Amino acid sequence: MRTNSLFLDLAEKRVSVRQYTDEPVPRDALERCLEAARLAPSACNSQPWHFVVIDDPEKRRALAAAASGGILPINHFVHTAPVLVAVLATRPNATAAFGAWVKKKTFAMMDVGIATEHFCLQAAEEGLGTCMLGWFNERQVRRALALPTGTRPLLLLTVGKPATPPPPRKRKPLEEIISWNTFT
Ligand SMILES: Cc1cc2nc3c(=O)[nH]c(=O)nc-3n(C[C@H](O)[C@H](O)[C@H](O)COP(=O)(O)O)c2cc1C
């Protein structure tokens, strides 16, 4: 598809990065990523999220261990990331909680996912790589960050300068995922 769209270029640029250099991440770039996340939409404008930015080496090691331990040999690359962000779901406001209960939809998870993608897109704009991680030991993360009740770590994010070129994109073709006017 030929486009002339800055946003599509950015969406194309964001990929999951799984190897980082040890260059530090500029604080102002991180702050813009967090601002992008803050601007995300959420059900009933509940904004049920909190971002814990972890650049302290000891805390980072504890979180990386929570994401890469266990029986499956995955997520070891987390140890190479100079910054991790724990994305927490916090208590939604009463309207969003009621709506989620009536509609049986996990609005807070959607909200957190959208905000996290805002963060990742801004990171791509800054020339930073990210990878969302849903696979980690939640209990270990809770303990490492001393999280209070009413918060839940839904995602960990790795952030840093990519050490390797982006892998090729694997996506279903548009025809497979789109239909017009009726489901086909
Ligand atoms: C909710 C969620 C959880 C994910 N968890 C992991 C993970 O634990 N480990 C990992 O390496 N990648 C994880 N990913 C990254 C996906 O594997 C990746 O987005 C997908 O393969 C598409 O590749 P791309 O991000 O490079 O476009 C996760 C992505 C999402 C959205």
100-139 tens-digit pLDDT: 999 999 999 999 999 999 999 999 999 999 999 999 999 9
CB atoms within 10 A of CB 70: 14
Tell me if 131 is assigned to some domain. yes
Q: CB neighbours of 43 closer than 8 A, spacing ≥ 6?
A: 92, 96, 99, 100, 107, 108, 110, 111
Instruction: Give the predicted TM-score (pTM) of the model.
Output: 0.96
Ligand 1 centroid distance, CA of 77 (Å): 13
**pLDDT less than 70: residues of the chain:** 1-2
Q: Is 161 within 8 Å of 20 (Cβ atoms)? A: yes
∠ Cα 70 74 77 (to 5°): 120
Residue range of the domain that includes 118? 22-84+105-163
**How close is the Cα of 17 to the center of ligand 1, in Å?**
9
What six digits make up the tokens of 72?
């499956």
Q: Rounded to the nearest whole angstrom, what is the distance from the C-alpha of residue 96 to the centroid of ligand 1?
A: 27
Supply the pLDDT for residue 74. 87
Residue 1: per-residue pLDDT: 66
Residue with CA nearest ligand 1 atom 29:
132
Mutate to test the pocket of ligand 1, among 77, 133, 137, 155 (most ligand atoms within 8 A of CB): 133
CATH number at residue 28: 3.40.109.10
Q: Total domain count for the chain?
A: 1
pLDDT at position 180 is 97
At residue 2, the pLDDT reads 60
